[in-house]
Amino acid sequence: MSTLDDLPIREDLRGQVPYGAPQLDVPVSLNVNENTYGIPEAVALSIIEKLAKATVSLNRYPDREFIELRTQLAGFLGHDLSANQVWAANGSNEILQQLFSAFGGPGRVALSFSPTYSMYPNIARITLTKYVEKPRNADFSLDLNQVVRQIQDVEPDIVIFCAPNNPTGTSLSLELIEAAYSVSKGIVVVDEAYSEFSNNPSALGLLPGRPRLVISRTMSKAFAFAGARLGYLAADPAVVDAMRIVRLPYHLSALTQAAASAALEHSNLLLENVERIKRQRDRIIAATSYWGLSPYPSDANFVLVGGFSDSQLVFDQLLRAGVLVRNVGIPHTLRITAGTEAETTKLLAELALLLD
Ligand SMILES: *Cc1c(COP(=O)(O)O)cnc(C)c1O
């Protein structure tokens, strides 16, 4: 048996470990911001029907351009978007990797604002893009003038904003995105993975006249479709052309296209639980704040709760009680996904016992 170190692996990958939250079999799993409601039976049956049709043609390569799905995604997004402004991949992580492949790479720089989504540095590393992170304010907000100065300083080829921000839940103003775009020469990416939970307008409205702006979305969170792996972007058609150059041929399987297409036909049903989830999010904020903890305001389907003297201890104790949350490494905090009412009740009951 050899180890990784015995292999002629790239020097910059030596000592690296695979990224990923623990996948544990627990009764209440609130650690990766999934929609914890299952797929409604009517939707599941539609998906199976479309999958069955796609299955008999699996001897053929899929539609490389997945026009039907892109047309549906454009229709879902609205804002007068058309299929040639939309692109999809196996999760928005792959979307981001394709963006970094096309607009980053050796000698190029990506800029983001920490703490933020931990995949950004990973994707930068894989694509050999230099990654620079500037710190957020103490409350995790961003200051417009400071961001403008930082962009002028760093001159990044890619600026990436996560809005609402994972893992803090912080929202972002369109004014800041506009200002960042206007001083940037590179691509400006807004990762709107949690947009459906947000009370703030999407940056989709900023697309007209901004060919270097890219909005990234996913069906993994609000859509309750994480297992299917479908992420997408909206941007100028030229950005989509760039994606075509770096994608692997036929990257989106016929089964993925069929499942996503069937799901989109039921977008209303799939998004039905968004308001319920937001109520549970607000319940977590209210309860933890009442107990003297410090939840951060959240515009997403999770809450970063601060004020734990030993957050790893609380994480371990919750896990022993069958509740899995996330320690993202910000001292004294835990990130908790808002689940169903029953899951939230269990979480809060266990937390109350621990705090007593
Ligand atoms: C969950 C998440 C994603 C989505 O990943 P998928 O690959 O689409 O499942 C993207 N960005 C952020 C910030 C996320 O939290």
User: pLDDT 10s per residue in the chain (356 long)?
Assistant: 788 889 999 998 888 888 888 899 999 999 999 999 999 999 999 999 999 999 999 999 999 999 999 999 999 999 999 999 999 999 999 999 999 999 999 999 999 999 999 999 999 999 999 999 999 999 999 999 999 999 999 999 999 999 999 999 999 999 999 999 999 999 999 999 999 999 999 999 999 999 999 999 999 999 999 999 999 999 999 999 999 999 999 999 999 999 999 999 999 999 999 999 999 999 999 999 999 999 999 999 999 999 999 999 999 999 999 999 999 999 999 999 999 999 999 999 999 999 98
- CB of 112 closer than 8 Å to CB of 162: yes
Nearest protein Cα to ligand 1, atom 1: 193
- CB of 252 closer than 8 Å to CB of 61: no
Pocket test for ligand 1, best of 162, 218, 230 (most atoms within 8 A of CB): 218
- Cβ(197) to ligand 1 under 6 A? no
Give residue-wise pLDDT tens across range 184-209: 999 999 999 999 999 999 999 999 99
Within the chain, all domains assigned CATH 3.90.1150.10 are found at 17-40+271-355
Within the chain, all domains assigned CATH 3.40.640.10 are found at 41-265
Give residue-wise pLDDT tens across range 103-118: 999 999 999 999 999 9
- Cβ(162) to ligand 1 under 6 A? yes
Q: Which atom of ligand 1 is nearest the CA belonging to 231? A: 8
Kindly report the backbone phi and psi dihedral angles of residue 210, in degrees, each rounded to the nearest multiple of 5, phi listed first.
Answer: -125, 80
- Cβ(113) to ligand 1 under 6 A? no
**Helix 311-320 with 341-355: angle, nearest 10 deg:** 120
Nearest protein Cα to ligand 1, atom 4: 92
17-40+271-355: CATH, from 3.20.20.80, 3.90.550.10, 3.90.1150.10, 3.40.630.30: 3.90.1150.10
Q: Which atom of ligand 1 is nearest the CA belonging to 32? A: 1
As given in the structure block, the two tokens for residue 206 are 């900023």
Asked if the bond preceding 40 is cis, omega within 30° of 0, the reply is no
Burial class (CB in 10 A: 0-12, 13-18, 19+), 169: buried
**Helix 41-55 with 254-264: angle, nearest 10 deg:** 150
pLDDT of residue 4: 85
Burial class (CB in 10 A: 0-12, 13-18, 19+), 133: middle
Measured CA angle at 339 (ends 335, 340), to 5 deg: 160
Q: Which fold has domain 41-265?
A: Aspartate Aminotransferase; domain 2 (3.40.640)
